[in-house]
Structure 1
Amino acid sequence: MKNSNVSHNHTSESTLKSSRINQWDPENETFWVTEGKRHANRNLTISVIALFLAFAVWQIWSVVAVNLNSVGFNFTNSELFTLAALPGLVGATFRIFFTFMPGIVGGKNWTVISTGALLIPSIGIGFAVQNPETPFVTMAILAALCGIGGGNFSSSMANISPFFPKKLKGTANGLNAGLGNLGVSAVQFITPIALGFGFIGAMTGGSQTLDEGKTVWIQNAAFIWVIPIILITLIALWGMDNLPGTKQSFKEQSIIFKNKHTWIMTWLYTMCFGSFIGYSAAFPLLINSEFSHVDGAVGLAFLGPLLGAGIRPVGGWLSDKVKSGSLVTFWDIVVMIGATVGVVYFLNAQNFTGFLIMFLILFLTTGIANGSTFRMVPFIFPEKQSPPVLGFIAAIAAYGAFLIPKVFGWSIDSTGTANLALYIFIIYYVISLFITWFWYSRKNAEIKC
């Protein structure tokens, strides 16, 4: 395939149309080797970084909420968990709409727009947290705007998948999703360190003093992402490409809603990804609520999402090895139930080490099932239905980022502990185990996958 098969329409530097591919055929091996691979890998690399930052902004409140009352705010436990949960609610809703945006305005164009939009909550939060008189409603609006980062996942996956041939889609999507998910862990690891960087805070406002007398610059939690967001937005503007022929008709895709397995897989993916993103949002607050007496405990919260995101590709790989995503999912849920029971036990015993170990195992199981359930979908649905199904179940599962922190907050406010919330999650997992066994993994299952 000659280079003429990929043309670039250079226009004004002030527009989003700096590059345009007019022809794309990744299934053609000659085209892929001579032209396609180079463009696809460049777009994937930029997409991964953009998605990493999107997840980081999405989960800013999981760390910021922990420190608010220590610097002069006076929010209730329920209000703090609400601030950590709102980005999940809005992000999940945005995913439903963002899925179709690359087809409407172009994948590169939407990446530029949606990544640049992350500046709104990042800058807004940086200023709002410096004033303890900032009302809860303002904080809630800023938390909701962080949902832009959550919505970016669906548009990013919809954009990147068409760049690669079928034999490489799994690897490309896995890298995009898995490395992007690491932004959740990064924000929880980097933020506590950044709060102590006075030279950053000095440029944007004054310091605050925590209850224990330590000086921090809480605005850094948001402001540290501003420059990276600006840089990757500009890099996406000049380095990414729009692909032709990627428009999606909602009418054509709406057939998935008539298939009962769409709703079954929505339940199962919510079980794993919903748990992963929900626990990621709630983990720091939960540790702070239940083990505030343990020095440095909250600083270990990043380990959960780090393990959950890092193990995700293993779930898909293991499913390929045993040739059954449902079998991996089934036994993974068994471990998930055991780990949740362990969390309850060590929580009641006020044993932080045991609590942390059990919760890390729980995070690992969510990550493995994220990979194994995604592997099940192409074996359950026809080829044309698989992409919209993946987008839809990912959107609904993201509501876990809202529901789980809210349930934890409700449980603690109502009973004084997180036990009731954990019992509810165990029931959900037991039902998920039965669903997996009955429809997909037993000997005479309706669909063996």
Structure 2
Amino acid sequence: MSTATSSRQGGEWLQSWDPENDQTWDKALAWRTLWITTFTLTMCFVAWFLPSAIIPKLNALGYSFSKQELYWMSAMPGLAAGLLRIAWMVLPPIMGTRKMVALTTLLLFFPILGWGVRVQNPSAPYWELMVLAFLAGIGGGAFSGFMPSTSYFFPRRMQGTALGLQAGIGNFGVSLVQLLTPWLIGFSMIGFLGGSQAMKVPGKPSKEVWFQNAAFVWLPLILIGAAWAWTALKSVPVKANVRQQFDIFGNQDTWWMTLIYIMTFGTFSGLSAQFGLLMGNLYGSGNAAIVSGSGAAAKILVPGYAVPDPVSWVFWGPLIGAGARVLFSPLTDRMGGAIWTLVSGLGLIASIVYTIPALTPDTSSAAALQGDFRQFLVGMFLIFLFAGIGNASTFKQMPMIFEKRQAGGVIGWTAAIAAFGPFFFALGIGVMGATLFYWVGVAWAVMCVAITWVRYARKGAPKPG
């Protein structure tokens, strides 16, 4: 994007900023910006996925929501993130990096505070929790502002690594909240902010927990991140009003890359939000019981079957996906993004097909159930791996495919649409059932592999990237 030279002078606004000019590029400033925005983006993902760690336990804390109500509640942060990303994608040129990052981070304080208050007493009405779930989507919406904003600070040759590091480390916020929640709720480290609760799981003794810890522990870090961004960040003056930013929709590659990024980040975010609920619904939530079927599912007792606790497993999937995004980003700078997007699509097809049989557990024996559960875990982890690879490769492709002025807008737009992943996964699994929905995922990945090969990856492709 071209830099503005008129109204934005001095203070936070950089002058004559050109990362492609090695003689004048301030490398230290670029990397400082990356690390600050990465820290705050991690907090954004924590806020976005905090409901996914709390919602599966609401009934155990004393609420009495139906399975469908819980699915819809878990879908709400994804719906909000997709809608809010459309707004956030136009903010970087308008607000600048400093104001946008600092104020967005500060907004996270309110939904996290709300969840910490409402888990302490199971008296909140359903609509209020739905509002809190929607507000958590602010953390997801921020992605479409943070990523294009960071891209202004780096030359094209380094944007695969820079954006991969920011998005990948930011994605670790998903695993962080899912990994730490079971530990944080186990002791009264900040008990003065509220009493304990009795968590009651069928077939197990009641357990004393402090579930507010899972929310309140992040509040100081959010305030620190907002203050750090406000005092240390600078902004690149960019000429791009809202009307100019929306000319990306006249470029066919905007639409092709949107479909592809739905395959990669839509899968990552959707499965991250639904992994725990899906595992619980398929493989049980009692001492020796599993839930099979759909709707008013019946519990089937299987002697000798060790029921898995979803909280022991759900953080691994997002951790694998985020790690792949970080580790493969430098490879995309060296080898190009298109080839790795092709690998991602082919890997997703194979791993989804491998997982599908495990979506209908064999309840004939404990051994059969355990075998299906192992296949389910391996398949899900492979899906996360290949989705993470694709998340890295697509963000290398976009700065290469599009002119500099458009690349930030396309990154924001594709991220906005893919953020609907948690919503569509909840809706698809709830309405279609897991098996049919996974076959839809296979068909989508086949389509994206064809697009990638024809448009970007083959020799002589129109837009190699």
TM-score (norm 1): 0.88
Unpaired runs of at least 5, structure 1: 1-6, 10-18, 413-417
Number of the residue aligned with 1:16: none
Residue 393 (structure 1) aligned to one of 400, 411, 414 = 414
1:277 aligns with 2:269: yes
Residue 385 (structure 2) aligned to one of 356, 359, 364 = 364
Change (3 A) 1:318 1:171: closer
Task: Tell me, in whole angstroms, the C-alpha distance in 2 between the residues paired with 1:143 and 1:240.
Answer: 30
Number of the residue aligned with 2:365: none
1:147 aligns with 2:133: no
Task: Tell me, in whole angstroms, the C-alpha distance in 1 between the residues paired with 2:438 and 2:153.
Answer: 41
1:295 aligns with 2:288: no
Change (3 A) 1:328 1:38: closer
Change (3 A) 1:318 1:40: closer
1:193-233 CA-partner distances (Å, limit 9, x unpaired)? 11112232442233233233111122222212111111211
Number of the residue aligned with 2:455: 439
Number of the residue aligned with 1:79: 69
Q: Is the 8 A contact 1:208 1:218 kept in 2?
A: no
Percent identity (aligned): 38
1:93-150 CA-partner distances (Å, limit 9, x unpaired)? 1111112223222211121111000011011111122222211100000000001101
1:208 partner SS: strand
Higher mean alpha-carbon deviation, 332-341 vs 196-205, is at: 196-205
Number of the residue aligned with 1:169: 159
Number of the residue aligned with 1:423: 439
Number of the residue aligned with 1:341: 353
Number of the residue aligned with 2:320: 307
Task: Tell me, in whole angstroms, the C-alpha distance in 2 between the residues paired with 1:378 and 1:29.
Answer: 18
Change (3 A) 1:75 1:85: same
Q: Is the 8 A contact 1:411 1:421 kept in 2?
A: yes
Number of the residue aligned with 1:157: 147
Number of the residue aligned with 1:218: 211
Change (3 A) 1:131 1:247: farther
Task: Tell me, in whole angstroms, the C-alpha distance in 1 between the residues paired with 2:314 and 2:159.
Answer: 32
Q: Is the 8 A contact 1:129 1:218 kept in 2?
A: yes
More helix by share: 1
Task: Tell me, in whole angstroms, the C-alpha distance in 1 between the residues paired with 2:373 and 2:109.
Answer: 37
Number of the residue aligned with 1:265: 257
Q: Is the 8 A contact 1:210 1:216 kept in 2?
A: no
1:190 partner SS: helix
Letter in 1 for 2:444: Y
1:236-288 CA-partner distances (Å, limit 9, x unpaired)? 22222233x22422322322211222111111110111001111111111111
Alignment RMSD (CA, Å): 2.2
Number of the residue aligned with 1:248: 240
Change (3 A) 1:445 1:164: closer
Task: Tell me, in whole angstroms, the C-alpha distance in 2 between the residues paired with 1:377 and 1:200.
Answer: 45
Residue 64 (structure 1) aligned to one of 54, 57, 77 = 54
Q: Is the 8 A contact 1:272 1:367 kept in 2?
A: yes
Give the alignment of 1:177-216 within 5 angstroms: 177-211=167-201, 212=204, 213-216=206-209
TM-score (norm 2): 0.85
Q: CA deviation at 1:320?
A: 4.4
Q: CA deviation at 1:321?
A: 4.3
Number of the residue aligned with 1:132: 122
Task: Tell me, in whole angstroms, the C-alpha distance in 1 between the residues paired with 2:277 and 2:338.
Answer: 33
Change (3 A) 1:319 1:176: closer
Q: Is the 8 A contact 2:147 2:411 kept in 1?
A: no
Higher mean alpha-carbon deviation, 53-62 vs 367-376, is at: 367-376
Number of the residue aligned with 1:3: none
Change (3 A) 1:435 1:27: closer
Letter in 2 for 1:283: F
Q: Is the 8 A contact 1:93 1:395 kept in 2?
A: yes
Task: Tell me, in whole angstroms, the C-alpha distance in 1 between the residues paired with 2:227 and 2:335.
Answer: 43
Higher mean alpha-carbon deviation, 65-74 vs 202-211, is at: 202-211
Q: CA deviation at 1:440?
A: 3.3
Aligned length: 424
Residue 54 (structure 1) aligned to one of 41, 44, 51 = 44
Change (3 A) 1:106 1:384: closer
Number of the residue aligned with 1:13: none
Letter in 2 for 1:299: S
Higher mean alpha-carbon deviation, 116-125 vs 211-220, is at: 211-220
Higher mean alpha-carbon deviation, 202-211 vs 335-344, is at: 202-211
Letter in 1 for 2:48: W
Change (3 A) 1:65 1:52: same
